[in-house]
Amino acid sequence: MINIILPDNSVRQYPEGITGMEIAKSISEGLAHNVLSVLVNDEVWDATRPIRTDAKIRLLTWNDEEGKGTFWHSSAHLMAEAIELLYPGAKFGIGPHIENGFYYDIDFGDKAISSEDFPKIEAKMQELAKENQVFVRKEVPKAEALDYFTKKNDEYKIELLQDLEDGQITFYESGHFTDLCRGPHLPDTSAIKAVKLLNTAGAYWRGDETRHQLTRIYGVTFPKQKELTDYLALLEEAKKRDHRKIGKEMELFTFSQKVGLGLPLWLPKGALLRERLEMFLKKVQKKAGYQQVICPHIGNVELYKTSGHFQKYGESSFHPITTPVPGEEFFLKPMNCPHHCEIYSYKPRSYKDLPVRIAEFGTVYRYEQSGELHGLTRVRGFTQDDAHIFCTPEQVKDEFKGVIDIVMLIFKALDFKDFVTQISFRDKNNKEKYIGTDENWEKAEKDILEVAQERNLNYVIAPGEAAFYGPKMDFMVKDALGRKWQLGTIQVDYNLPDRFELEYIGSDNQKHRPVMIHRAPFGSMERFVAVLIEHTAGQFPLWLTPDQAIILPISEKYSNYAEKVLQFLNNSDIRAQIDNRNEKAGKKIRDAELAKIPFMLVVGEREETDGTVSVRKHGQGDLGPQKLEDFARFITGEVAKELGEIN
Ligand SMILES: [Zn+2]
Ligand SMILES: [Zn+2]
């Protein structure tokens, strides 16, 4: 008999070789019906795989991320099976699950596959799923595995096999398809009821641009048709909110092939919007004792060799810039931290100077493959709202508190109500993987946890997810469509202070190493604006939006009065423009609605005589006439409410 520990810490005894599915059945038939896979000692297993030793388990269903992962990865096999039957000779790369669905990278030879082929593949997948094909796990000797894929002429699987040790190779068979795979998978295909292939993309084999380009097919599957229908409706809504589309409509940013892929050009309205975000944060940071600095966009290669960034980015990112001086090389900065370390050490520091908080909207450059680029969310040049705090180990707790408070102010001013905090600690069983003393790690982890509790954060702890150089805290927001985005981050760092030999003189008159904290509440301006656009569908908070009002004269006769209204608003610090086109009022209103301008001010004879404007609110309609002063006061009041104490 073996001891099985369930999530409620109760222990049950089962015969050796019991499976997750059998354990589920012993609890309830209903549960067994929903089980997709099982977590065995922190590893996801097939629900049908025998458990031979004492283990801590958790049964996974559609409600668990891991359960969904099993469902979707199994669906990738199902798609591969359908494709192999429909397109004999297709060769398969890798087919993992992703956040929402799965993909498989496939070499179709000379054949081009497009979305027109999807219905045929989907129908085949549905047909195969109904056969209730069982996923059979087989441990296979390496020679046999190589032989199988050599006969099949699949060089991709052969290459993957070459990296694996004999004795750790498993095949999974389902229906007509056999795959080299670590698993886990569903017990069988019967749970897959709804299938949708979404799109194709080119994907270099092993992410290497010098190698063959495969066709990546993305898909998603569900246990119920209704869930697929809901998901597709969500995708439709997401399409409407796509920041690339709205960014174009609102004239916020653009890209130019000539300038280069992944290098955004901020248009005047976007630049002003970004400036307002920056001013907002600068104001908050000034109050919180940060000092703003400015650094160049390049640095000597030696700087990044010291920091270790050259080892990390040197080969795989933009290559160094040479100069007429032989041997001299500069590197586009991938991180602001090294420059800031040099700012810290430009003069001797005493414990009385700490914490030193250095902030910069610093632009960094990292090479991303063209296939990875996406609007403003994946770019090759971006500006971080970066800051580095140099402090004593005792100050870490208060500094975390301060940064969390800034993050909360931002979330409030931008209406992100739903977020979780992930706290990443080191793997206590592998302490040698991490730099820094045991004492400092333990203290920092304890401090971070306490701060999270004191600040009432909704947090999860991720053991083993810390960087090698220190624990961290990340903020994931859920947008209006329920999609998760990682935004702000706070990271403790024991590594760079060592590499740069940073020091301060303590109260004991001895030299000490400061702790460094990296933090970026927005993350990057580019990504943050993208998330904000998709969250608000372009209807930004009033304090941030490009034009707060648009003046609509009902005919040319009133353009003088419109001009006066504009001046008045400008003098009251309200951003507005006039629609002077020779169009009917109805058309002007419709266009202003499309442009998502919060307030429309219609002016004609009556308004001119009374010194008023007829106010319409975006998405709501007529609010009636208002005295110009009253309208201005109203807007100023609304902005003050949104910004709260920042104003
Ligand atoms: Zn698999
Ligand atoms: Zn940093």
Domain with residue 358: its CATH number is 3.30.930.10
Spacing, Cα 173 to ligand 1 middle (Å):
9
Domain at 30, CATH number: 3.10.20.30
- Which pLDDT band holds residue 626 (cuts at 50, 70, 90)? very high
What ligand is nearest to the CA atom of residue 518?
A: 2
Q: Which of 313-317, 360-364, 532-536, 565-569 shows the lowest mean pLDDT across its residues?
A: 313-317
**Cα angle: 591, vertex 594, 596; to 5 degrees:** 115
In a domain, 196, yes or no: yes
Half-sphere exposure of 558 (CA within 13 A, CB side): 25
- Residue of 176, 188, 66 whose CA lies nearest to 135: 188
Kindly list the distances between the CA atom of residue 630 and the CA atoms of 380, 566, 576, 621, 640, in Å, as whole numbers in the listed order.
Answer: 46, 15, 16, 18, 15
Residues 490 and 611 in one domain: no
Average pLDDT over residues 166-181: 94
Residues 152 and 109 in one domain: yes
The values of phi and psi at residue 17, to 5°, are 95, 5
Spacing, Cα 477 to ligand 1 middle (Å):
31
Helix axes 155-162, 142-152, angle to 10 degrees: 160
The values of phi and psi at residue 346, to 5°, are -70, -20
Kindly list the distances between the CA atom of residue 636 and the CA atoms of 57, 184, 564, 641, in Å, as whole numbers in the listed order.
Answer: 57, 57, 19, 9
Q: Of 240, 256, 277, which closes a domain? A: 240
Kindly list the distances between the CA atom of residue 360 and the CA atoms of 218, 276, 293, 410, 527, in Å, as whole numbers in the listed order.
Answer: 39, 15, 5, 17, 17
Percent of all residues in the chain with a pLDDT value above 70, rounded to a whole number:
100
pLDDT in tens, 185-214: 999 999 999 999 999 999 999 988 899 999
Spacing, Cα 26 to ligand 2 middle (Å):
52
What ligand is nearest to the CA atom of residue 307?
A: 2
Mean pLDDT across the chain: 94
Residues 315 and 190 in one domain: no
- Token reading at 234: 């969500």
In a domain, 402, yes or no: yes
Residues 47 and 131 in one domain: no
Spacing, Cα 80 to ligand 1 middle (Å):
10
In a domain, 319, yes or no: yes
Residues 229 and 342 in one domain: no
Residues 353 and 379 in one domain: yes
* Residues known to be catalytic: 337, 366, 384, 386, 388, 472, 518
In a domain, 392, yes or no: yes
Is 389 a residue whose pLDDT tops 80?
yes
In a domain, 221, yes or no: yes
In 10 A of CB 193, how many CB atoms?
Answer: 16
pLDDT at 646: 65
Is 647 a residue whose pLDDT tops 80?
no
In a domain, 253, yes or no: no
Q: Of 17, 34, 61, which closes a domain? A: 61
Spacing, Cα 472 to ligand 2 middle (Å):
12
- Residue of 619, 642, 412 whose CA lies nearest to 544: 642
What ligand is nearest to the CA atom of residue 362?
A: 2
Q: Cα(first)–Cα(last) distance of the chain, in Å?
A: 67
pLDDT in tens, 317-326: 999 999 999 9
pLDDT at 440: 86
Split into its structural domains, the chain has a count of: 5
Is 481 a residue whose pLDDT tops 80?
yes
In a domain, 54, yes or no: yes
Q: Of 43, 61, 79, which closes a domain? A: 61
- Which pLDDT band holds residue 369 (cuts at 50, 70, 90)? confident
In a domain, 366, yes or no: yes
- Which residues are placed with Cβ below 5 angstroms of ligand 2, an ion? 337, 518
Residues 435 and 485 in one domain: yes
What ligand is nearest to the CA atom of residue 387?
A: 2
Kindly list the distances between the CA atom of residue 424 and the CA atoms of 421, 441, 463, in Å, as whole numbers in the listed order.
Answer: 10, 12, 6
Spacing, Cα 76 to ligand 1 middle (Å):
8
Residues 487 and 577 in one domain: no
Spacing, Cα 475 to ligand 2 middle (Å):
17
Preceding peptide of 88 cis, ω within 30°: no
Close Cβ partners of 114 (under 8 Å, ≥ 6 residues apart): 200
Residues 132 and 192 in one domain: yes
pLDDT at 431: 86
Kindly list the distances between the CA atom of residue 256 and the CA atoms of 259, 264, 376, 408, in Å, as whole numbers in the listed order.
Answer: 5, 8, 13, 36
SS3 of residue 424 by DSSP: strand
E strands, 234-351, are: 253-254, 265-266, 291-292, 298-300, 321-322, 329-332
Residues 361 and 409 in one domain: yes
For the question of whether the overall pTM of this predicted structure is more than 0.95, the answer is no
Domain range enclosing 108: 66-240
Spacing, Cα 164 to ligand 1 middle (Å):
16
The values of phi and psi at residue 627, to 5°, are -60, 145
- Rounded CA gap, 26 and 345, in Å? 64
Residues 520 and 572 in one domain: no
**Cα angle: 173, vertex 177, 179; to 5 degrees:** 65
Residues 365 and 328 in one domain: no
Helix axes 396-413, 268-287, angle to 10 degrees: 140
What ligand is nearest to the CA atom of residue 97?
A: 1
Kindly tell me the sign of the dihedral angle through the C-alpha atoms of 586, 587, 588, 594.
Answer: positive
- Which pLDDT band holds residue 483 (cuts at 50, 70, 90)? confident
pLDDT at 612: 95
**Cα angle: 538, vertex 532, 602; to 5 degrees:** 25
Largest CA distance in the chain: 93
Residue 456 burial (10 A CB sphere; 0-12, 13-18, 19+): exposed
Spacing, Cα 125 to ligand 1 middle (Å):
16
Spacing, Cα 22 to ligand 1 middle (Å):
22
- Rounded CA gap, 397 and 394, in Å? 7
What ligand is nearest to the CA atom of residue 386?
A: 2
Q: Report the amino acid identity of residue 359.
A: A
Average pLDDT over residues 572-583: 94
